[in-house]
Amino acid sequence: MSKTDFDRRIATGLDRGEAFTFTFDGMAVTAYPGESVAAALIAHGRRKFRETLKRDMPRGLYCGMGVCWECIMVIDGRAAVRACMTVAEPGMKVETQHGLGPSPNTAPTEGSAS
Amino acid sequence: MAMSDAPAEPPDRCEIAVVGGGIAGLSTALFLARAGRDVVLLDKGSPWGDSSGANAGTLSLQVKRTEMFEMGSTSIGLWAAFGTEMGIDVGFHQPGGLRVAESDEQIAFLREYGAEQEAVGFEFEWLEGNQLHDLAPWLGPEVRAATFCAADGYASPLIAGPSLIAGARKAGVRVISNAEVTGARTAKGGYRLSIGRRSLECEYLAIAAGGHSTKIAASLGVRLPLWVDCNMLTVTEPAPRIMDKVVTHIGGIMSLKQHVNGTVLIGGGWQGRGKFSRQTREIDPLAWVQNVGLGARIAPDLKTLRVNRAWAGYEAVTIDALPLLGRLPGLENAYVAAGARGGFHMGPGQGLVLSQLILEGETGLDISRFDPARFPQ
Amino acid sequence: MNQADLAIVGAGPTGLSAALVAARAGLKVWVFDDNALPGGQYFRQLPKQFRKTRKTVYDKEHGRASELFTAIHHPNVTYLPNATVWENPDPGILAFAAGERSGRIEAKAILIACGASDRPVPFPGWTLPGVVTAGGLQNLVKGARVVPGERAVVAGNGPLLLVVAANLIRAGATVAAVAEAAPATARLWRNLPRLLQAPEIVKLAVNYRGLMAKAGVPYRCGETVIEARGTDELEEVVLAPIDTRGRLDRTKARTVACDTLVAGFGLNPSIEMYRLLGCDMSYNSYRGGWMPKRSDDLETSIPGIFAAGDGAGIGGVEFALIEGKLAGTVIARNLGALDERTAAIQAAPLRSRLERFRKFRVGLERVYAPPSTWTELATDDTIVCRCEDVSLGEIRAREAQGFTSAFAIKGSTRMSMGRCQGRNCLPTLAAHIAARDGIAVEQVAVPRGRPPARLVTIGDLLQEDLPAPVFPTDPHLPRGEEVI
């Protein structure tokens, strides 16, 4: 089953407004104004948000309240943004965070510092 | 950071007693044990539990006084050798260091200082303008000049502590925690140390107890004048690479480095709120923000990082900023290593000196300027 | 510097009800909150942009919530969302980060109302995507009306499991099992008189059970999750019964296929602010572990600093609301905004209500008291520190080298040094050491909290207008005191 085929939003009694999309690792994900990145991803069955630095372990939403930092992702190029605390925006670029995530532009190109 | 704490009682006697489980004491003990000697290391709490575990880990030759170059170079060599020759991972890295200047005044001072350093044979590169910013594009626009020293680096206090304790034990050192030396006196053939209600007799005594060395030496009738700073340290969340050199500052006190795990450590010796006499050490929130702010001006990507924690640790220093290193005045077979500015950096070299003095009665390094007898008794 | 009569940390049920009472009494109140919207976890709101087309079961708290939310619009209240209080630099002063509004505030009284978060209990596979806390599930449902999967298992301990199961059922998810570690049902009758001190809550529980029964969802007491399995995401969980002596019986384990595991092992008060402030603490395992010592007026050991709600000992939303009102009342009295008589009249019904809920809480604690060793589920491969990826095996290896105290384990493994600042692992480490050494958890010395109380972005810190620093003329020379 393709994971974008379903929607785990509860429909009852709610008008979420105008849907928009952002991208998750290049694929379009539907979201509604005010929704967190984590909620939108999970609504579409996307649950693996990052891989850890030390062991490459998959992680996703855990505490859901900003305390545990398990749901950190790369959002619009910035590493370690909590998906559970970040409101989705149209056109936002959300990516799985691998390890520490990407460096800012001014960072050393070699990445060789040790 | 307190480290090992396996419960053990001190023995009644040993050949060599080393007091203090920081970098100087552990190095002394390790080198002596590797030479086959019988060593007991006593720590008042947990080894590595004080300054050595709480400092920034900076190994920077170019921030040291010129009198310290030989000791500083020797120490960096030993920091490297722990991993390569002794199988002890201390988290040593040598990316080179930049000592930066922002104002005209600072640039002039950096030049003046550089000339003094060159005079003692120190090698560095002068960088300014585009040349500097091409090498380090992550430096802020206000940084106008820097000296680059390829020998500068850092060791990780977190990695080094457990490794050195385990390494010392493996080499045969008996590492004893919770063994505060409350007094010492001369005894037949050596010294008798009071450790609470117990005592320990030894032939040789090496004191490497930072600010606590003063009190121990005093019980032997020796004056070791020391002052204790309360330095603040800050570590950020682990972040992608934002810098690749160790940075120090010619004007404002500051050190910056990004570890392999991505955390950035901000230090430099900004004073927290603390009194050694009361064993208090807290951050001073105003000076702390200034410290972090200076770091962010030098490496602006820091502004996007979150601070994870901040703390303060002691650094014992003499009034002339040179260490107390050598034989205790008027005593045989009793030595001290304490009070070096940048004592973490200097620890292995000082340990080497003490071990050589004990093993051979002399050392190849020039320690005449560090003689504890230079201060009036 | 900003000035206030009362600074409140946390805009949940406690903070908002205190703010309302204090503001109405005339105090200038500042409320700081980590979240974008007020309400905390219990009254977590849907995005402002969502429009309700009709009332649903989720709106049953609408009335209470709406009244609470008026607090942030009260003319005497300054409300700062997305704000992190990170330090208590001097007595009576809080430093906070809130983007461009970052700064410091001097307050005559401070109320800590930081709530609680899920107690972390490591078991094999608990880091897999698809495993969420009970609080996490509740927030998804309350804050977005989203459920994390189609087929869920709910496991852990405490009444929140019933709420979670009911929410999943209402959302149309299949709940394959609800595993409650304590023999709760068997203890119910004995404790009914106490529980009936709060009939409104008992009624809720009965409703949840009714919903579960109707959906054919089994509620097994004396059973716990022992493993979560899957490659990149959760695929199945293993549940095992706990025998009458409180021991796990792995021989009778069963495997249940599911894509979601809601693990709720109870809550821990958020105590970082008290640690920073230096409040005297006490330990009560039934109420979430460490919490501040408080007077009858909810004042901590530091005069002028108050603590209320779940963050001062787990009690639930009713406690939080009453304690918030009581704190607001006594603070208004202490600061002269309410006279003794009015304050006493206002406080009396709150105190008696609190007394009633205390009795109820004792009943609840007796029903749900879990067997003491049931949380020892981690194996050598289990991650015990999620931020730094530290496994139990790594801890044991360090222990074998003599690194045995919490301090030494922290220093040698990096456990508790990550972004969660130990919230998600220090309770585990303390429990591990207690079990290893055969001592009580509260006797285990753990590393104290360091500033900042929560992670704070350096850019935010620099928003403050600070005096220029003074550099030493010679950085080599000592700056501290002479050793005598």
Instruction: Kindly state whether A52 is in contact with chain B, defined as any CB-CB distance less than 8 angstroms.
Output: no
Identify whether A50 is part of a domain: yes
| Residues C91-102 pLDDT 10s | 999 999 999 999
Q: Which chains border C (3 or more CB–CB pairs < 8 Å)?
A: A, B
Nearest by CB to residue C461, choosing from B237, B289, B304, is: B289
pLDDT band at A109 (very low <50, low <70, confident <90, very high): low
What per-residue confidence (pLDDT) applies to B4? Answer: 58
User: Distance from CA of residue B311 to its chain's centroid?
Assistant: 17
> Shortest Cα distance from B108 to chain C (angstroms)?
15
What percent helix, strand, coil does chain B show, rounded to 5?
A: 35, 30, 40
Q: Which CATH code fits C120-265?
A: 3.50.50.60
Q: How far apart are the first and last CA of chain C?
A: 39
> Could you tell me the fold of the domain covering C2-117+268-338?
FAD/NAD(P)-binding domain (3.50.50)
Nearest by CB to residue C403, choosing from B4, B53, B229, is: B4
Q: Is the pLDDT of residue A84 over 90?
A: yes
What per-residue confidence (pLDDT) applies to A113? Answer: 40
Q: What is the 3-state secondary structure (H, E, C) of C285-299?
A: HHHCEEEECCCCCCE
Torsion of CA C179, C182, C186, C189, to 10 degrees: -110
Range of the domain at A25: 20-97
What per-residue confidence (pLDDT) applies to B350? Answer: 98
> Averaged over A90-104, what is the pLDDT?
95
Torsion of CA B43, B48, B50, B53, to 10 degrees: 180
pLDDT band at B2 (very low <50, low <70, confident <90, very high): low
C53:A43 CB<8 A: no
Residue B333: strand, helix, or coil: coil
Instruction: Kindly state whether B61 is in contact with chain C, defined as any CB-CB distance less than 8 angstroms.
Output: no
User: Which residues have CB under 8 Å from B188's CB, separation 6+?
Assistant: none
B243:A104 CB<8 A: no
> Averaged over B93-99, what is the pLDDT?
97
| Residues B265-308 pLDDT 10s | 999 999 999 999 999 999 999 999 999 999 999 999 999 999 99
**Does the fold of domain B97-150+227-317 match that of domain B13-54+158-225+320-374?**
no
> Averaged over C319-323, what is the pLDDT?
97
Q: To the nearest whole percent, how much of chain C has pLDDT over 90?
A: 88
Count the Cβ atoms, other than its own, within 10 Å of residue C244: 10
Dist CA C276 CA C89 (whole Å): 9
> Shortest Cα distance from B91 to chain A (angstroms)?
9
Tokens of C156: 């852990």
Instruction: Kindly state whether C131 is in contact with chain A, defined as any CB-CB distance less than 8 angstroms.
Output: yes
Residue with tokens 């005096």: C467
Instruction: Kindly state whether C136 is in contact with chain A, defined as any CB-CB distance less than 8 angstroms.
Output: yes
Domain count, chain A: 1
Q: For chain B, which residues make up each domain, given as ranges?
A: 13-54+158-225+320-374, 97-150+227-317
Q: Which CATH code fits B13-54+158-225+320-374?
A: 3.50.50.60
A64:C34 CB<8 A: no
Q: Are C357 and C319 in contact (CB under 8 A)?
A: yes
Instruction: Kindly state whether B214 is in contact with chain C, defined as any CB-CB distance less than 8 angstroms.
Output: yes
Q: For chain C, which residues make up each domain, given as ranges?
A: 2-117+268-338, 120-265, 383-443
Nearest by CB to residue B240, choosing from A101, A110, A114, is: A101
> Averaged over C146-161, what is the pLDDT?
96
> Shortest Cα distance from A12 to chain C (angstroms)?
8
Strands of C223-229's sheet, edge to edge?
Answer: C223-229, C236-241, C254-257
The domain over range C383-443 is classified in CATH as 1.10.10.1100: yes
What letter does residue B56 receive in the DSSP assignment?
-
Tokens of C99: 């983007």
What per-residue confidence (pLDDT) applies to B6? Answer: 58
Dist CA B21 CA A98 (whole Å): 39
> Shortest Cα distance from A89 to chain C (angstroms)?
13
Element (H, E) at B348: helix B343-360
Q: Is the pLDDT of residue B316 over 70?
A: yes
Q: Is the pLDDT of residue A3 over 70?
A: no
Q: Are C114 and C270 in contact (CB under 8 A)?
A: yes
Q: How far apart are the first and last CA of chain A?
A: 44
Tokens of C439: 């001592």
Tokens of C394: 């790594």
> Shortest Cα distance from C151 to chain B (angstroms)?
35
User: Which residues have CB under 8 Å from B353's CB, separation 6+?
Assistant: B71, B325, B326, B337, B363, B365, B367
Nearest by CB to residue A111, choosing from B241, B300, B306, is: B241
Element (H, E) at C400: helix C392-400
Q: Which chains border A (3 or more CB–CB pairs < 8 Å)?
A: B, C
Dist CA B100 CA B145 (whole Å): 6
What per-residue confidence (pLDDT) applies to C55? Answer: 86
> Averaged over C220-241, what is the pLDDT?
97
Dist CA B300 CA B293 (whole Å): 9
Nearest by CB to residue A9, choosing from C55, C137, C146, is: C146
Tokens of C108: 């005559």
**Does the fold of domain C383-443 match that of domain C120-265?**
no
| Residues C195-205 pLDDT 10s | 999 999 999 99
Q: Cα-flanking dihedrals φ and ψ of residue A74, to 5°?
A: -95, 115
Kindly list the residues from chain B whose CB atom is less than 8 angstroms away from the CB atom of residue C478. Answer: 227-229, 317-319, 321
Identify whether A14 is part of a domain: no
Specify the range with the lowest mean pLDDT, choosing from B55-59, B308-312, C12-16, C448-452: C448-452
> Shortest Cα distance from C387 to chain B (angstroms)?
10
Instruction: Kindly state whether A112 is in contact with chain B, defined as any CB-CB distance less than 8 angstroms.
Output: yes
Whole-angstrom CA distances from B345 to B27, B55, B214, B338 are 12, 10, 21, 12
pLDDT band at C62 (very low <50, low <70, confident <90, very high): confident
Dist CA A49 CA A35 (whole Å): 16
Instruction: Kindly state whether A55 is in contact with chain B, defined as any CB-CB distance less than 8 angstroms.
Output: no
Q: Are B158 and B192 in contact (CB under 8 A)?
A: no
Kindly list the residues from chain A whose CB atom is less than 8 angstroms away from the CB atom of residue B261. Answer: 53
Dist CA C21 CA B278 (whole Å): 43
* A interface test, pick of C35, C45, C49 with most A CB neighbours within 10 Å: C49
Instruction: Kindly state whether C480 is in contact with chain B, defined as any CB-CB distance less than 8 angstroms.
Output: yes
Dist CA C423 CA A62 (whole Å): 13
Whole-angstrom CA distances from B247 to B143, B232, B252, B299 are 11, 16, 12, 9
> Averaged over C64-88, what is the pLDDT?
96
Cβ within 8 Å of C, A 2-61 = 8-10, 12-17, 32-36, 38-39, 42-43, 47-49, 52-55, 57-61
Instruction: From B161, B204, B163, B183, select the one nearest B21 (Cα to Cα).
Output: B161
Q: Is C439 left (phi over 0), alpha (psi -120 to 50) or beta?
A: beta
Length of chain B (residues):
377
Q: To the nearest whole percent, how much of chain B has pLDDT over 70?
A: 98
Q: Packing angle between helix C426-437 and helix C406-413, nearest 10 degrees?
A: 130
B161:C412 CB<8 A: yes
Give the chain C residue nearest A62 (alpha carbons). C132
Q: Is the pLDDT of residue A1 over 50?
A: no
> Averaged over B22-42, what is the pLDDT?
98
Amino acid occupying residue C77: V
Identify whether A109 is part of a domain: no
List b or e across B189-220, with b for residues whose CB sees 16 or more CB atoms inside 10 angstroms.
Answer: ebbbbbbeeebbbbbbbbbbbbbbbbbbbeeb
Dist CA B189 CA B195 (whole Å): 19
| Residues A27-66 pLDDT 10s | 999 999 999 999 999 999 999 999 999 999 999 999 999 9
Dist CA C235 CA C259 (whole Å): 5
A15:C54 CB<8 A: no
Dist CA C14 CA C273 (whole Å): 15
B304:C475 CB<8 A: no
Residue with tokens 């921030």: B63
What per-residue confidence (pLDDT) applies to B5? Answer: 61
Averaged confidence pLDDT in chain A: 90
Q: Is the pLDDT of residue A4 over 80?
A: no
Whole-angstrom CA distances from C322 to A69, C41, C142, C308, C348 are 31, 17, 22, 9, 11
CATH for B97-150+227-317, among 3.30.9.10, 3.90.1150.10, 2.40.100.10, 2.60.120.10? 3.30.9.10
Instruction: Kindly state whether C150 is in contact with chain A, defined as any CB-CB distance less than 8 angstroms.
Output: yes
Q: Is the pLDDT of residue C224 over 50?
A: yes
| Residues C116-151 pLDDT 10s | 999 999 999 999 999 999 999 999 999 999 999 999
DSSP sequence for C321-347: HHHHHHHHHHHHHHTTSS-HHHHHHHH
| Residues C408-447 pLDDT 10s | 999 999 999 999 999 999 999 999 999 999 999 999 998 8
Q: Which residue has the higher pLDDT, B1 or B288?
A: B288
Element (H, E) at B104: helix B104-119
